[in-house]
A = this chain, B = another copy of it.
Amino acid sequence: MKKMTIGAFLLSMMFGVANAQSLKSPDGKFEMDFQLKQGVPYYNLKYNGKLVVEDSKLGLRIFKNSSIKFASEIAKPEDAQFDLNSGFSKIAEKRDSKNETWQPILGEKKNYINHYNELAITINQASTDRSIIVKFRLFNDGLGFRYEFPQQKNLNYFVIREEDSEIDFPTDMKAWWIVADYDSQEYKYQESKVSEIPSKWSQAADANASQTLIKDAVQSPLMLKKEGKEPLYINVAEAAVLDYPASHLEVDAQNFKFKTHLTADRQGAKGYMQTPMQTPWRTIIVAPKAEDVMDSKMIFNLNEPTKYTDTSYIKPTKYMGVWWEMIIGKSQWAYSQPESNVRLGQTDFTKLTPNGNHGANNTKVKDYIDFASENGFQGLLIEGWNVGWEDWFGRSKEYVFDFITPYPDFDIKMLNDYAHSKGIDLIMHHETSGSAANYERWADKAFQLMNKYGYKSVKTGYVGDIIPRGEHHYSQWMINHYYRIAEKANEYKVMVNSHESVRPTGESRTYPNYISAEAARGTEYEAFGGNNPDHQTVLPFTRWMGGSMDYTPGIFQTKLDYYFPGDNRFVKTTLAKQLALYVTMYMPLQMAADLPENYKKHMDAFQFIKEVAADWDDTKILSAEPGDYVITARKAKGTENWFVGGITDENKREYTVDFSFLDKGKKYEAVIYEDGKDADYINNPQSYNIYKKEITSKSKIPFKMVRSGGFAITIKPVK
């Protein structure tokens, strides 16, 4: 517990509860207060009568002018007069509440419940005659708050220097965190006390293709646990990050306090605002059980319903890809010599010498189509289909790709016709190499090409530093870019799976065709430097809180020395855990990432991937602890079939599935996929055991997961 000075104590007595506006959650378990202390806005949060968040400051700093000049990012003392963080008096208070049930187009459950009480306080800064609204929504699973800027005489256009929303926790806690960065989220999760974050920060920041680290700060969502007899799980995140930069959390490790840090542009500006406008929601989800945090839909509820008039094209899709073989280095994106110097519009790619190892060639793609079709997939991603990969990365080159010109050995018409004849839709790939400016130029032509050949979805990519130069992956300009592309894709009835873009914060409610982002270390990192065995047990508490991730599970051939003798890279899971990920990781555009040749050797295990659904009527988080394990059951959309997945971290673990979530009195056939007794993620990852069993809602099945192991179950009613 932090020490409170006598002065602070007296202040809190003088300006404390008497002035406070209180709000309770619908179930009464949460309560929060808003108050102005000497003109400075504060809020706190209680759960079951106990303070979860102490009095924490609110406010923003803004630039003097809406037009920012070079070096204006260096604040002068007199700029403080434009800050919106003090000198306030309350001028209005408005309360509201809502209890609605809505259906996500694609989701983890059929119905999402949006139930909250709302408090909106209008405060006015006399010195500037500017009013802002601080709006709080208190749900049964936590708090969201944001700033709203009504259009008014003295506030029409302004630029945010920083948002200073604080979250001040009373005690030290356990934290699962990654280092803050304006350009990358692809870091290994760290588990430490909040107080230890600064001392562990530097070693947690490994290299990335594009990175702009923020010293000692961590990324949002941040998962926390107050340990002890009455544990509390707390998730700190944000919702509806639209037309605003993504935020990070500065850490005050002595005081267990976090402060918003927005992604800057090259001018040091954080947000270009035109009233009426509002910030994203700052969210604090709190629950005594980890499962309830993971199950929270609060972040989605804080987003607006979609305005799309036609969502019929948005469909769950399982896909394979000519992809993993490039990630591991077995084939190449480039058609000719990588590292060679090419220019679109000048280089004649038909005259280049093929490197002989180009992945996206007609023969190989047809083989993939055949296998995907035979096994009931709907989609096939092909990367490296278009010209420009010879010199695509790291050269600050703006015009790398045109998104419309195939390599000479990729017959776009023939392959799409062939795929369609087999019930497969090819999935387009738009790697931008970070050159969003160039992508926007080509977007219409690129989507027109997709429509012409019948592509239904696109994987976009932003590897490398952003162009417009000086923008960052998470700055306001790029945030707007991602959703501009989503809207453009909607014009063309295309689903988007975005990589190296910003983590989603519930926007799929508003942009339901923006199916997922990557925005964390996915399976590909197993080939680039490895993921920790607990990685997949943290992600659902962090990256997944605001939307799906294209993690690309399903690697059966986990050891890469199979391809390259002596190669010590390997995917740090058992094969059974790979299956379980299809349930523990929600993703309606879900990949089976391994090569057909590897699936062919394990068609019995592959059966699970063939059968598992990608869209759901219901989800039950059976048991979970961040960094340790996740056991999830999901009911497939429009059926009575259930799927269960369980994964563990670097520790072996026993878990008994209680099937009481099944309909009472019904008989089901379960097919169980589990780690073999001698399985081991390092020494024997491909050892698994498959068996069938008839079960009811009264059944219980014990599992022994080996270290970084797991299990998966398909459950179908017996007819």
Report if A529 contacts B (CB, 8 A): no
Interface residues of A: mostly helix, strand, loop or mixed?
loop
Select the stretch in A7-15, A281-289, A392-400 that faces chain B. Answer: A392-400
Report if A48 contacts B (CB, 8 A): no
Report if A33 contacts B (CB, 8 A): no
Nearest to A157 among chain B residues (CB) is B395
Partner of A470, one of B265, B275, B394: B265
Report if A526 contacts B (CB, 8 A): no
Partner of A274, one of B156, B266, B343: B343
Report if A68 contacts B (CB, 8 A): yes
Instruction: State the oligomeric state as a number of copies.
Output: 2
Q: Which residues of B contact A397 (CB under 8 A)?
A: 66, 157, 272, 274
Report if A331 contacts B (CB, 8 A): no
Q: Do B67 and A465 touch across chains, with their CB atoms under 8 A apart?
A: yes
Nearest to A209 among chain B residues (CB) is B67
Report if A468 contacts B (CB, 8 A): yes
How far is B157's CA from A395's CA once the two chains are assembled, in angstroms?
6
Report if A690 contacts B (CB, 8 A): no
Query: Which residues 258-311 in A have Cβ within 8 Å of B in the complex?
Result: 265-267, 269, 272, 274-275
How far is B343's CA from A465's CA once the two chains are assembled, in angstroms?
31
How far is B390's CA from A442's CA once the two chains are assembled, in angstroms?
30
Report if A252 contacts B (CB, 8 A): no
Q: Do A396 and B266 touch across chains, with their CB atoms under 8 A apart?
A: no
Q: Which residues of B contact A396 (CB under 8 A)?
A: 66-68, 157, 159, 272
How far is B342's CA from A275's CA once the two chains are assembled, in angstroms?
9
Partner of A469, one of B267, B398, B480: B267
In the assembled complex, how far is the CB of residue A40 from the closest CB belonging to chain B, in whole angstroms?
28
> For A69, A266, A398, which residue has the most chain B Cβ atoms within 10 angstroms?
A266
| Interface size range of chain A in the complex | 35 or more
Q: Which residues of B contact A395 (CB under 8 A)?
A: 66-67, 156-157, 274
- Contact indicator per residue, chain A 462-491, by CB within 8 Å of chain B (1) or not (0): 001100111100000100100000000000
How far is B66's CA from A465's CA once the two chains are assembled, in angstroms?
11
Query: Which residues 347-362 in A have Cβ within 8 Å of B in the complex?
Result: none
How far is B69's CA from A441's CA once the two chains are assembled, in angstroms?
25
Nearest to A275 among chain B residues (CB) is B341
Q: Which residues of B contact A341 (CB under 8 A)?
A: 151, 156-157, 274-275
Q: Do B470 and A477 touch across chains, with their CB atoms under 8 A apart?
A: no
Partner of A437, one of B157, B269, B398, B468: B468
Report if A70 contacts B (CB, 8 A): yes
Q: Which residues of B contact A267 (CB under 8 A)?
A: 266, 469-470
How far is B68's CA from A477's CA once the two chains are assembled, in angstroms?
19
How far is B339's CA from A151's CA once the two chains are assembled, in angstroms?
13
How far is B266's CA from A465's CA once the two chains are assembled, in angstroms?
14
19 pairs of residues in contact across A and B, judged by CB atoms under 8 Å: A66-B394, A67-B394, A67-B396, A68-B396, A68-B469, A69-B212, A69-B465, A157-B341, A157-B397, A265-B469, A265-B470, A266-B266, A275-B341, A398-B477, A398-B480, A440-B440, A440-B441, A468-B468, A470-B470
Chain A residues with CB under 8 Å of chain B are 66-70, 151, 156-157, 159, 212, 265-267, 269, 272, 274-275, 341, 343, 391, 394-398, 437, 440-441, 444, 464-465, 468-471, 477, 480
Apart from the given pairs A66-B396, A398-B477, 11 other A-B contacts in the complex at a CB distance below 8 Å: A67-B394, A70-B266, A159-B396, A274-B397, A440-B440, A440-B441, A468-B470, A468-B477, A469-B470, A469-B477, A470-B470
